[in-house]
A and B are shown apart, each in its own frame.
Chain A
Amino acid sequence: MKENAINIANDFSRFPAGRYESDGPFNGEKFRRKILVPSLQDGKSIIVELDGTAGYGSSFLEEAFGGLIRVEHLRPDVVIKQIHLKSADASLVEEIKGYILSAK
């Protein structure tokens, strides 16, 4: 994995699916705990590349990114500054930002 850059298709799975650990091997909870949280430690900024997968369910996205606030208790304004989302699909970026900013 390149430093400060996460490519979901290469570093996690081309077939991300499910919300919880019980939903399959490449679920949102696992992505958050194993990939996102360690990458965000020490206030580091990261680029998250979303393209290259077979598509995302909103449940995966909400659990992975909204869970940073809801479960990991990180501050939304800090997370928004630390994570730079990269995708040809602007709707994905908008959706994820919405989860980060509205999660409670």
Chain B
Amino acid sequence: MPSAEIVEKFVTWALVILGWFIIGRDQDRRARRTEVRDSLKSTSQLIIQIEDAAQSYWKLTGDDPESDAAALKLKFSLKQLSGEVVALCRHDVRFGLFIPVATFRKAATGGEFEVKTRKAETRNSQRLVDICSAGLDLREGLAHAFNEVYC
């Protein structure tokens, strides 16, 4: 039969180990939270950049000499955005906002995108409003997912 002293020491050490475990877990969680928050900030900035690039693109005519380069840059940025959302999804599936990403891409590069005969969009056209709206939905969706996961 272990003496009361041995039991007391065992309980003390068990509590110490449990404390280390809890502190370690909290530190990991805080570090992951910071990492995801930073990623999210960078992704949100990328969404805003894409919105701006898309607005500029659609204000050009389809045969404008700058149109092809602007379109290629826009597609590449959207590909980068998809990659960032896939990376966020590895932290938690709630970041997997693939339908809002597709909606944003559709708004930015759908319809007559890369069509040579396309006319320039006028300021406040429905296309430009849709791009802003889809970008906002995606940013809000990501922020909502972060709150659900970490707050």
Total A-B Cβ pairs within 8 A: 84
Chain B 61-105 interface 0/1 with A at a Cβ cutoff of 8 Å (1 = within)? 000000010011011111100110110000000001011011001
- Size category of the B interface is 20 to 34
Cβ-defined contact, A59 with B109, below 8 A: yes
Cβ-defined contact, A54 with B114, below 8 A: no
Is A25 interfacial (CB 8 A cutoff)?
no
Cβ-defined contact, A98 with B72, below 8 A: no
Of the residues A19, A90, A91, contact of B114 by C-beta under 8 Å? A19
Of the residues A58, A60, A92, contact of B82 by C-beta under 8 Å? A92
Is A15 interfacial (CB 8 A cutoff)?
yes
Is B106 interfacial (CB 8 A cutoff)?
yes
Chain A 65-78 interface 0/1 with B at a Cβ cutoff of 8 Å (1 = within)? 00000000000000
Chain A, residue nearest B117 (CB): A22
> Considering the chains assembled together, what is the distance between the CA atoms of A98 and B98 in angstroms?
12
Chain A residue total in the interface (Cβ 8 A) = 25
Task: Give A residues with C-beta under 8 Å from B.
Answer: 15, 17-20, 22-24, 27, 54-60, 62, 88-92, 94-95, 98
Is B120 interfacial (CB 8 A cutoff)?
no
Cβ-defined contact, A58 with B109, below 8 A: yes
Cβ-defined contact, A23 with B115, below 8 A: yes
Q: Separation in Å of the B69 CB from the closest CB of chain A?
A: 11
Cβ-defined contact, B71 with A89, below 8 A: no
> Considering the chains assembled together, what is the distance between the CA atoms of A98 and B106 in angstroms?
11
Cβ-defined contact, B106 with A15, below 8 A: no
